A and B are shown apart, each in its own frame.
Chain A
Amino acid sequence: MITQSTLSMTFRVSDTFIYNGFQGRLLPFLAKSRAERTWHIIGAVPGSGKTYGIGEVVRGSGMAKGKFGTTHMPILSFRSPKNARSENALGIAMTAAFGVVPNMPWDLRRTWLVSETDRVGVELIIADDAQDLSLEQLTYLRELTDNLEAPPYNRKVGLCLVCASENNTIPLVDTFKIRNELKWRQFKRRLDAETPSVMVSNHNVREVREICKVYEALYRDQLPDLHLQQWAKAIHGYLTTPILDPEGSGEATMHNIHRFLMYCLRTTFELKKSDVEDSLLIAASELMNLDFESVKQLKGAEDAEV
Chain B
Amino acid sequence: MQKSDTDSHKPGAEAGLLPDALWHQTFPHVVPVIEGEWLLGLLLRCDEANNWPAGAGTTATFLGRYSIGPGPLAKPALYITGSVLDLDRLASALNEDLEKVEGTTFTGALQRFFSRSDCTARLLGLTPSFRICTQCIREQRLLAQTCMYPLLRSCPEHGLLFQQVCSCGTRLKAFNKGTPPFTCGACMMPWHRLTDVPATREVADFDVGVSALYKVLLSEHLELTVERLVRVRRYAAQQVLSGVWPELPRGAFGRGLLPAIANIHYMVSITQWVACFSALQVTPERMIALMQEPESTTALVCPNRACSGGANSRTSTVHLYTSYKHKKCEDYYYCAECGSRFTESGRLVVTFDSNHGSRDIEPKKVARLQQQLAQWKTRLEATCVKMLGQGHPITVEEAFAKAHLSQNANLRALNLGLVSIVEFYAMRQRAAMAGYAPGKAQILRHIYSPASNTRPRPPHLPSISATQTQEIYMYGHEANQSA
Residue numbers of A with Cβ under 8 A of B are 15-21, 56, 59-60, 62-71, 96, 98-105, 108, 111-112, 115-116, 119-120, 207, 210-211, 213-214, 217-218
Closest to A217 in B: B3
The complex places the Cα of A101 from the Cα of B27 at a distance, in Å, of: 6
Pick out which of these stretches binds chain A: B11-19, B157-165, B388-396, B446-454: B11-19
The answer to whether B30 and A65 touch across the interface, beta carbons within 8 angstroms, is: yes
Residue numbers of B with Cβ under 8 A of A are 1-6, 9-12, 14, 16-18, 20, 22-32, 49, 51-53, 56, 58-59, 61-62, 93, 95
The answer to whether A64 and B28 touch across the interface, beta carbons within 8 angstroms, is: no
Least CB distance, B379 to chain A, in whole angstroms: 58
Measured between beta carbons, the chain B residues less than 8 angstroms from A103 are 62
Count chain A CB atoms within 10 A of each CB in B5, B11, B12 and give the residue with the most: B11
Measured between beta carbons, the chain A residues less than 8 angstroms from B3 are 16-19, 214, 217-218
Given A68-B32, A102-B58, A102-B62, A19 and B2 contact (CB-CB distance below 8 Å): yes
Measured between beta carbons, the chain A residues less than 8 angstroms from B5 are 16-17
Measured between beta carbons, the chain B residues less than 8 angstroms from A56 are 6
The complex places the Cα of A67 from the Cα of B14 at a distance, in Å, of: 11
Given A100-B27, A112-B51, A65 and B4 contact (CB-CB distance below 8 Å): no
The answer to whether A119 and B51 touch across the interface, beta carbons within 8 angstroms, is: yes
The complex places the Cα of A69 from the Cα of B22 at a distance, in Å, of: 14
- 8 example contacts (A-B, Cβ-Cβ < 8 A) are as follows A16-B4, A65-B26, A65-B30, A67-B32, A69-B49, A98-B28, A99-B26, A100-B24
Least CB distance, B360 to chain A, in whole angstroms: 72
Count chain B CB atoms within 10 A of each CB in A17, A64, A102, A108 and give the residue with the most: A102
Least CB distance, A259 to chain B, in whole angstroms: 18
- Give which listed residue, B14, B27, B52, B53, contacts A99 with CB less than 8 A: B27
The complex places the Cα of A218 from the Cα of B4 at a distance, in Å, of: 11
The complex places the Cα of A86 from the Cα of B203 at a distance, in Å, of: 59
Measured between beta carbons, the chain B residues less than 8 angstroms from A69 are 29-31, 49
Measured between beta carbons, the chain B residues less than 8 angstroms from A18 are 1, 3
Measured between beta carbons, the chain B residues less than 8 angstroms from A112 are 51-53
Measured between beta carbons, the chain B residues less than 8 angstroms from A60 are 9-10
What 7 pairs across the A-B complex have the smallest Cβ distances?
A102-B62, A210-B1, A108-B53, A98-B28, A65-B18, A69-B49, A69-B29
Measured between beta carbons, the chain A residues less than 8 angstroms from B25 are 99-100
The complex places the Cα of A104 from the Cα of B20 at a distance, in Å, of: 25
- Give which listed residue, B2, B16, B26, B51, contacts A68 with CB less than 8 A: B16
Measured between beta carbons, the chain B residues less than 8 angstroms from A101 are 27-28
Closest to B62 in A: A102
The answer to whether B51 and A115 touch across the interface, beta carbons within 8 angstroms, is: yes
The complex places the Cα of A218 from the Cα of B6 at a distance, in Å, of: 14
- Give which listed residue, A16, A17, A68, A102, contacts B52 with CB less than 8 A: A102
The complex places the Cα of A15 from the Cα of B7 at a distance, in Å, of: 11
- Give which listed residue, A99, A217, A218, contacts B24 with CB less than 8 A: A99
Measured between beta carbons, the chain A residues less than 8 angstroms from B24 are 96, 99-100
Measured between beta carbons, the chain B residues less than 8 angstroms from A67 are 16-18, 30, 32, 95
The complex places the Cα of A168 from the Cα of B32 at a distance, in Å, of: 51
Measured between beta carbons, the chain A residues less than 8 angstroms from B16 are 66-68
Given contacts A16-B4, A210-B1, A214-B1, 10 further A-B contacts (CB under 8 A): A17-B3, A21-B1, A59-B6, A66-B17, A96-B24, A99-B93, A100-B25, A105-B53, A108-B53, A116-B28
Measured between beta carbons, the chain B residues less than 8 angstroms from A214 are 1, 3
Least CB distance, B73 to chain A, in whole angstroms: 13
The answer to whether B56 and A64 touch across the interface, beta carbons within 8 angstroms, is: no
- Give which listed residue, B6, B11, B29, B58, contacts A17 with CB less than 8 A: B6
Measured between beta carbons, the chain B residues less than 8 angstroms from A62 are 11
Measured between beta carbons, the chain B residues less than 8 angstroms from A105 are 53
- Give which listed residue, B6, B12, B31, contacts A16 with CB less than 8 A: B6
The complex places the Cα of A82 from the Cα of B14 at a distance, in Å, of: 36
Closest to A68 in B: B32
Closest to B19 in A: A65
The complex places the Cα of A65 from the Cα of B29 at a distance, in Å, of: 7
The complex places the Cα of A99 from the Cα of B23 at a distance, in Å, of: 6
Measured between beta carbons, the chain A residues less than 8 angstroms from B53 are 104-105, 108, 111-112
The answer to whether B1 and A65 touch across the interface, beta carbons within 8 angstroms, is: no
The complex places the Cα of A210 from the Cα of B1 at a distance, in Å, of: 6
Closest to A210 in B: B1
Least CB distance, A235 to chain B, in whole angstroms: 15
Measured between beta carbons, the chain A residues less than 8 angstroms from B95 are 67
The complex places the Cα of A263 from the Cα of B422 at a distance, in Å, of: 75
Closest to B53 in A: A108
The complex places the Cα of A101 from the Cα of B11 at a distance, in Å, of: 23
The answer to whether B6 and A120 touch across the interface, beta carbons within 8 angstroms, is: no
The complex places the Cα of A116 from the Cα of B3 at a distance, in Å, of: 34
- Give which listed residue, B1, B10, B52, B58, contacts A59 with CB less than 8 A: B10
Count chain A CB atoms within 10 A of each CB in B22, B25, B29, B31 and give the residue with the most: B29
Least CB distance, A132 to chain B, in whole angstroms: 21
The answer to whether B1 and A20 touch across the interface, beta carbons within 8 angstroms, is: yes
The answer to whether A64 and B11 touch across the interface, beta carbons within 8 angstroms, is: yes
Measured between beta carbons, the chain A residues less than 8 angstroms from B61 are 102
Least CB distance, B141 to chain A, in whole angstroms: 11
Closest to A109 in B: B53
Given A56-B6, A214-B3, A104 and B56 contact (CB-CB distance below 8 Å): yes
Least CB distance, B39 to chain A, in whole angstroms: 17
Measured between beta carbons, the chain A residues less than 8 angstroms from B56 are 104, 108
Measured between beta carbons, the chain A residues less than 8 angstroms from B14 are 64
Given A59-B10, A60-B9, A120-B28, A65 and B2 contact (CB-CB distance below 8 Å): no
The answer to whether B20 and A63 touch across the interface, beta carbons within 8 angstroms, is: yes
The answer to whether B29 and A104 touch across the interface, beta carbons within 8 angstroms, is: no
Given A63-B20, A100-B27, A19 and B4 contact (CB-CB distance below 8 Å): yes
Least CB distance, B30 to chain A, in whole angstroms: 6
Measured between beta carbons, the chain B residues less than 8 angstroms from A17 are 3-6
The answer to whether B28 and A99 touch across the interface, beta carbons within 8 angstroms, is: yes
Measured between beta carbons, the chain A residues less than 8 angstroms from B30 are 65-67, 69
Measured between beta carbons, the chain A residues less than 8 angstroms from B9 are 59-60
Closest to B28 in A: A98
- Give which listed residue, A20, A21, A65, A217, contacts B23 with CB less than 8 A: A65
Least CB distance, A109 to chain B, in whole angstroms: 8
Measured between beta carbons, the chain A residues less than 8 angstroms from B18 are 64-67
Least CB distance, B56 to chain A, in whole angstroms: 7
The complex places the Cα of A271 from the Cα of B28 at a distance, in Å, of: 49
The complex places the Cα of A68 from the Cα of B46 at a distance, in Å, of: 11
Measured between beta carbons, the chain A residues less than 8 angstroms from B58 are 102, 104
Closest to B26 in A: A99
Least CB distance, A14 to chain B, in whole angstroms: 9
Measured between beta carbons, the chain A residues less than 8 angstroms from B26 are 65, 99-100
